[in-house]
Amino acid sequence: MTNPTLDEIERTLKDSGGENRPAAAAYTPAAVALILRRDASEVSILFIERSPHDGDPWSGDLGFPGGKVEAGDAGPRAAAERETREELGVDLASARLLGRLADIEGAHLPIRVSCFVYGVTGALSLHPGGEVRDAFWVSLEALCDPARHVTAPVRFGGEPFERPAIILPVSGKPVLWGITYRLVMQFLALLGKARG
């Protein structure tokens, strides 16, 4: 199901029954926005490339807009929307909330990430702020291409690892791995099940 309608995606997410619970005290709650754009020919996902910053464990990595749930946020969804405004200048109030994925926990840091899925049609004006080096769209078709799925060398906290990853069709970008990779794979698996 590489070119589903937003209605089909919404039904799939509603029927997925993913478990979402408050983060345990040992985990920092965070939230991200997986933003889909549907046009006449395809569905694409919006990715960001984080700006390099000393002390930031995700410095220079690819991801979705998002961050920690702060005390002033009404919850994880509000945090995802606030972070998207801050990082990209995009107000998701006009976007269609399609659902959410099951929360996941970080493999290297005690963080629990909630992922909210939004759908937009047509152009979306992006204005990356200081935390974001670049923002770009990748089609579901490219993300589903088995030739792009690899095991790649990556670094986290100065340590080298070999991890499952996706080579995105955008020149000069690092591989997609880690939490965002796991969320993308969860999303693609749900779409595959919906296709039956």
Q: How far apart are CA 62 and CA 41, in angstroms?
A: 25
For residue 132, tell me if it sits in a domain: yes
Total domains in the fold of the chain? 1
For residue 88, tell me if it sits in a domain: yes
The pTM assigned to this predicted structure is 0.91
For residue 65, tell me if it sits in a domain: yes
CATH number for the domain that contains residue 113: 3.90.79.10
DSSP helix/strand/coil, 123: coil
Write out the chain's pLDDT in tens, 196 residues. 568 999 999 999 988 766 566 656 688 999 999 999 998 789 999 999 998 766 555 567 899 999 999 999 999 999 999 999 999 999 998 899 999 999 999 877 889 999 999 999 878 899 998 889 999 999 999 999 999 999 999 987 778 889 999 999 999 999 999 999 999 999 999 998 654 4
Q: How far apart are CA 118 and CA 121, in angstroms?
A: 10
Contacts of 190 (CB under 8 A, 6+ apart): 12, 13, 16, 101
Structural domain boundaries enclosing 86: 6-143
